Amino acid sequence: MVAMPEPKRDILARKDEIVARLRDIVPGEGVIVREEELRAYETDGLTAYRQSPMVVVLPSTVEQVSKVMAYCHEQGIRVVPRGAGTSLSGGALPLEDGILLGLGKFNRILEIDYENRCVVAQPGVTNLGITKAVEHEGFYYAPDPSSQIACSIGGNVAENSGGVHCLKYGLTTNNVLGVEMVLIDGTVVRLGGKHLDSDGYDMLGLINGSEGLLGVVTEVTVRILKSPETARAVLVGFPSNEQAGDTVAAIISSGIVPAGVEMMDKPAIHAAEDFVQAGYPLDVEALLICELDGPEAEVDELLARVSRLAEENGATYERVSKDEEERARFWAGRKAAFPAVGRVTPDYYCMDGTIPRHRLAHVLGRMREMSEHYGLRVANVFHAGDGNLHPLIMYDANEGDQLERAENFGADILKLCVEVGGVLTGEHGVGVEKRDLMGTMFNEVDLNTQQRVKCAFDPNGLLNPGKVFPTLHRCAELGRMHISRGKMPFPDLPRF
Amino acid sequence: MADTYRPDSAEQLRELVAWASAEEAPLEVLGRGSKRGLGRPMQAQAGVDMTGFTGIIEYEPDELILAAHTGTPLAEIQAELAAKAQDFAFEPPDLGPLLGGEAGQATIGGTVSCNLAGPRRVKSGAVRDHFLGFHAVSGRGEAFKSGGRVVKNVTGYDLCKLMCGAYGTLAVMTDVTLKVLPVAEETRTVLLVGLDEDAAVKALTAGLQSAYEVSAAAHMPADIARASGVSTVRKSGGAVTALRIEGPPVSVKHRAKKLAEEVLHGHGETHELQDRTSRDFWAEVRDVRPFVGLDGTAVWRISVPPAEGAGVAKRLGEAVSGARYYLDWGGGLIWLAVPQGEDAQHASVRAALGDSTGHATLIKADPEVRAAVPVFQPQADGVAVLTKNLKDAFDPRRVLNPGRMYAGV
């Protein structure tokens, strides 16, 4: 288990006084301290980690957020922001001596602007809620994480969430035009707006994926798109993972950018089919779901090209969705893959590495060896188009050392991802889960450079500490420069 | 400026910056200098010539990624990409001629550092949206890296976004990795003639709101269209409003037809530019050719909410004397040329933004003018503090392009 920062005893000792002051700022039911009520907040989507916060605060106005933050800054109290709490990396895990700042009451859509093709929403609005608000006009919000029915747009910004359609339409960061954000000292800043691109440093881009360590987002402006004329999905089955992987590479390199290409291995196919009866073939080793969207004529032509490439790579099964209902069913299986695996094992641990696409077969082969070594089964779902793997390691936390083995297995998978030229996390974030693996990708200078960015926003390290960075340094220490004066480098360096 | 150094290894560069930092000697970071005149003039003690960092490191067409040293000419990279029918989707503009230099001089490092994107910005994003990873030396004289070589990556802060558009004020990048995409098989442009700005932006909005994946949307008033290098546009006899469609031939044909017959029905008679003429027209829009070679003229680049572009343009026309402009990005980008004078009329230009969110950047003006007026949009207090803090994080002793964006940064 990952160690969290040592709780501040002086803060815990002053709990009553702190709660009283918070109640001044957020009156009514917005401050929660009863132990049994706090328990509802003790974990996020990474359920292996649990910790009750000192107090939960649920503000309902930007002014309240600003006042809470300014108070915490002044008093040295730690703050963990949370949207819907669906993080799979423990990014919203509370701290024993910290305030859990829930943004659930910020649940309104503030403006729908079709002319500028954007929606202004409060951070607690769900991802799907944005699409629901504009779909009657034929528009939608493109990033669609599998948890879209529950996850909040503010959380999406914090994690730079992806989804099955981000291959063609980009991640959260490519679809957010602006945010309003409260800094730890209570200052409210606006980054971006309804226009494109930043005038100075692209802080909006920096905030996306910053995991709640730089500020608390209180408003988000996202780009919306007109739904394509048609969308059709094709299921393609293969006798091996390698052939499925090769087909994906062939599709992408032929110049086709599908709306999504997903891959599932045999255990995942069976779990999903048992759960939602999506119509998946059960006699294949690997299944691709490839979706193409656009005008009917284009979709037809590209589907034919995909079919040809799949056949050339040894596909043994193919089925094209004939209507919207069938297309939705194809996706239902994929989107329910995590809970489906959850039905066949007491616990599972979901990983999130990204690899260069052409290393897929190698990585899946090594994963099979690891599975034998650790004695734990693994099912794979995979955003194949962009190389993002989601191995689901199956274990039983009540059985001996299985949790520990699952964690070690997971760490080995992520190290493998880095070894083949990939990264630790594609869309779930570092959080607490992958924090201590950051050293496999970054050296000390890299990590110190990132932590200095943290210092630029939060010099006292009060916002979500213990997440992302394996070692906490004081900003004063990081800011210091070690100067050796007077030494001119490379006297023979070419000059002009 | 006393000397220009030309390091050719990351270690040499690191030592050079560490030395400059120790001596508090400001450095001007240069590729091939094609955008040297963009930003506030600096008092640098020495130059860092990055052309020693040249060459493509890795190009994998199947993975849709390309990594190159930052001093590599953009044209050289694009030629390699074209051989595999791929390109950068953000359609990088060549501002060399606009800024008084030659065409084709830009480097990949300068392109990324300035985050300049062309007409396809509306559909495919800017450089920032395609920039995956880099190695760099910070103003602290420390070599570091961020990002990676895969398209989906949330491991640590996205420092790529910070580097992109920092104009070399935070760190000197030595190599960059970018996403590349297949080039569209076909391109067509649907034109409307004779619309005023209001009507034009309504037509562009209708196109961009449609399902037909418009990949560029611009409007040239009559005075600009009259000087176009594309004869159909030049001879149209009025203002020209243009929407581009790209993709597989069967799809392009279908969408161009739907756009003309359904979406733009009621906005006026439509014409079409195909293949080569379509490409030529958008290169003109992209490279700001209408304002190339105009003496005594300052050029502004203004980003606003697209539907508000017509209103802002109208206010510019009223408040800024001698204003000439055209619109890109569906109205969201205004290229504005004004008689330079002493201050490029910066106060009137920025006042014309009114309540719209956005920013105006002085892209081209003589050094005295760029020294006298804010080249980049003045920032709100809270954001200005963060800007300074970020500069402190990367370059506390102000040695990398100091003052290029803002005084003291």
The string of pLDDT tens digits covering residues A65-95 is: 999 999 999 999 999 999 999 999 999 999 9
Residues of A within 8 A of B122 (CB-CB) are 196
pLDDT for the residue numbered A488: 56
Q: If you measure CA to CA, which chain B residue comes closest to A196?
A: B303
pLDDT for the residue numbered B2: 65
pLDDT for the residue numbered A215: 98
Confidence of residue A47 (pLDDT cuts 50, 70, 90): confident
* Dist. CA A456–CA B159, nearest whole Å: 13
Say which of B160, B303, B382 has its CB closest to residue A187. B382
Q: What is the DSSP letter of A19?
A: H
- Secondary structure (DSSP) of A227-265: PPSEEEEEEEEESSHHHHHHHHHHHHHTT---SEEEEEE
Domains B49-182 and B186-286 share a fold: no
pLDDT for the residue numbered A46: 87
Q: If you measure CA to CA, which chain A residue comes closest to B153?
A: A426
A370-407 residues labelled b (16+ CB within 10 A) or e (exposed): bbeebebebbbbbbbbbbbbbbbbbbeeeeeebbebbb
Total length of chain A: 496
The string of pLDDT tens digits covering residues B124-170 is: 999 999 999 999 999 999 999 999 999 899 999 999 999 999 999 99
Contact B162 A228 (CB under 8 A): no
Task: Return the domain boundaries, chain B.
Answer: 49-182, 186-286, 289-381
B161-176 residues labelled b (16+ CB within 10 A) or e (exposed): bbbbbbbbbbbbbbbb
**pLDDT exceeds cutoff 60 at A490:** no
* Dist. CA A275–CA A332, nearest whole Å: 10
- Per the DSSP assignment, residues forming a β-bridge with A393 are A349, A378
- Residues 291-350 on A with a CB inside 8 Å of B are 294-295, 297-298, 301-302
Closest CA–CA distance from residue A193 to any residue of chain B (Å): 6
Burial of B348 (0-12, 13-18, 19+ CB in 10 A): middle
Contact A196 B329 (CB under 8 A): yes
Which of A165, A197, A495 would best serve as a mutation to test chain B binding (most B beta carbons within 10 A)? A197
**pLDDT exceeds cutoff 70 at A489:** no
Token pair belonging to A25: 């700022």
Contact B158 A189 (CB under 8 A): no
Confidence of residue B1 (pLDDT cuts 50, 70, 90): low
Torsions phi, psi for A138 (to 5 deg): 85, 15
Contact A423 B150 (CB under 8 A): yes
Q: If you measure CA to CA, which chain B residue comes closest to A164?
A: B152
Contact A203 B386 (CB under 8 A): yes
CATH numeric code, B186-286: 3.30.70.2190
* Dist. CA A428–CA A86, nearest whole Å: 10
pLDDT for the residue numbered A2: 80
Sign of the dihedral defined by the CA atoms of residues A206, A212, A215, A220, in that order: positive
A191 near B383, Cβ under 8 Å? yes
Q: What percent of chain A has pLDDT over 90?
A: 86
Strand A98-102 to A109-113 pairing: unpaired
Confidence of residue A165 (pLDDT cuts 50, 70, 90): confident
Say which of A178, A197, A257 has its CB closest to residue B303. A197
* Dist. CA A232–CA A254, nearest whole Å: 19
pLDDT for the residue numbered A78: 98
Confidence of residue A485 (pLDDT cuts 50, 70, 90): low
**pLDDT exceeds cutoff 60 at A151:** yes
Q: If you measure CA to CA, which chain A residue comes closest to B136?
A: A446
The string of pLDDT tens digits covering residues B333-378 is: 999 999 999 999 999 999 999 999 999 999 999 999 999 999 999 9
pLDDT for the residue numbered B110: 97
Average pLDDT, chain A: 94
CATH numeric code, B49-182: 3.30.465.10
- Secondary structure (DSSP) of B45-96: SEEEEGGGS-SEEEEETTTTEEEEETTSBHHHHHHHHHHTTEE-TT-----T
- Cβ-Cβ contacts under 8 Å between A and B: the total is 298
Mean pLDDT on A229-249: 94
Contact A494 B6 (CB under 8 A): yes
Radius of gyration over alpha carbons of chain A, in Å? Answer: 24
- Secondary structure (DSSP) of B174-219: EEEEEE-EEPPSEEEEEEEES--HHHHHHHHHHHHHSSS-EEEEEE
B211 near B247, Cβ under 8 Å? no
Mean pLDDT on B86-115: 97
Pick the closest to residue B51 from B113, B101, B6, B4 (CA basis). B6
Confidence of residue A472 (pLDDT cuts 50, 70, 90): confident
Domains and CATH numbers, chain A: 9-102 (3.30.43.10), 109-226 (3.30.465.10), 230-338 (3.30.70.2190), 345-429 (3.30.70.2740)
* Interface ipTM above 0.90: yes
Mean pLDDT on B183-205: 97
B307 touches chain A (CB under 8 A): yes
The string of pLDDT tens digits covering residues B259-281 is: 999 999 999 899 999 999 999 99
B289-381 classified as CATH 3.30.70:
yes
Strand A55-57 to A98-102 pairing: parallel
Closest CA–CA distance from residue A15 to any residue of chain B (Å): 31
Helix axes A324-335, A266-276, angle to 10 degrees: 120
* Dist. CA B330–CA B241, nearest whole Å: 10
pLDDT for the residue numbered A494: 59
A294 near A238, Cβ under 8 Å? no
Closest CA–CA distance from residue A312 to any residue of chain B (Å): 17
Please report where in the chains the tokens 């974990």 appear, as a residue. Answer: A43
B64 touches chain A (CB under 8 A): yes
